[in-house]
Amino acid sequence: MKGTYLGEFEELVLLAVGILFDDAYGLAIVDELEHKTGRPIMMSAVHKVLVRLEDKGYLKSRMGGATQVRGGRDKRLYTLTAAGKKVLSQSRELRNSMWREVPKIVWEAGAL
């Protein structure tokens, strides 16, 4: 349990890093999440989660990709680590297995 638990927002961030692949840095992740979820995302919240995920070993980072718009500053580019990928798939496995256990009737009853 310790260290392996993944919160909802953490999972989203991890996924966003995966989506952005080669250009996953703070602002891009914020954009991506806002775009996908449609709700406003705090930049500080994202950075906070990124730091925590890196500490847990799900992400690794390097500096690079400075552009003029950023005042010439480097980005901190994140990529998923093996552990990160593993925890994501574990999470998906868990959901899938739980999905499977929900009786079909539940979905149909919902259609009433």
Partner 1 sequence: MKNKTPQREGPPRWAVRFFRWYCNDHLSEAALGDFMELYDRRRAAIGKRKADLLFIGNVVAFLQPFALRRKRQSYALNELAMFENYFKIAWRTMARQKMYTSITIGGLALGLATCLVIFLYIRRELSFDKNYANGARLYRMYNDFRGPDAARWTSLPPMVAQIVKTDYPEVEKSGRLIPQKWQQAGSNLFRREDQVENLYEEGFVYADNELLDILEISFVSGSRENALIKPNSIVLSKRMADKYFPGEEAIGKTVILNEHKDTPYVIGGVMADFAADSHLHYDFLLTLTGVEFWPGEQTSWCCWNYDTYVRLKPGADAVALQKKLTAIRDNYLMGYLAQTGDQSAAEIKLHHFLGLQPVKNIHLNPEKVEDELRHGDARYVWLFGGIAVFILLLACINFINLSTAKSANRAKEVGLRKVVGSVRGYLIRQFLTESLVYSVVSFVFGVLLVTLVMPFFNSLAGTELSVPWQTVWFIPLLAAAALVIGVFAGLYPAFYLSSFKPAEVLKGTVSKGSKSSGLRSALVVFQFATSIVLIIGTFIIYKQMNFILHTKVGFDKDQVVMVQGTNTLRKQQETFKEELLQLSEVESATLSDYLPVAGTNRDQNTFWKEGKQREDIGVSGQIWFVDADYIHTLGMKVVEGRDFDKRLASDSQAVVINQAMVKNLGLKKHLGERITNGNGVFTVVGVVENFNFESMKGAIRPLCLKYANGGSIAAVKVKSHNLTSTLASLAKVWNKFMPHQPFRYSFLDESYARMYEDVSRTGKILTCFATLAIIVACLGLFALSSFMVEQRGKEISIRLVMGATTGSIFQLLTRNFVKLVLIALVIAAPLAWYMTQKWLEDYAYKIDVTWDVFVLAGVVSVIIALFTVSYQSIRAAMANPANRLRSE
Which positions touch partner 1 (CB under 8 A)? Answer: 25-27, 30, 42-44, 47-48, 51-52, 63, 66-67, 69-71, 73-76
Closest separation between CB of residue 83 and partner 1, Å?
Answer: 20
Q: Closest CB to partner 1 among 18 and 76?
A: 76
CA–CA separation, 71 vs 24, rounded Å? 18
Q: Closest CB to partner 1 among 3 and 90?
A: 3
Question: Would you put residue 38 in left (φ > 0), alpha (ψ -120 to 50) or beta?
Answer: left
Closest separation between CB of residue 55 and partner 1, Å?
Answer: 9
Strand-pair partners of 61: 78
Q: Closest CB to partner 1 among 52 and 56?
A: 52
Closest separation between CB of residue 68 and partner 1, Å?
Answer: 9
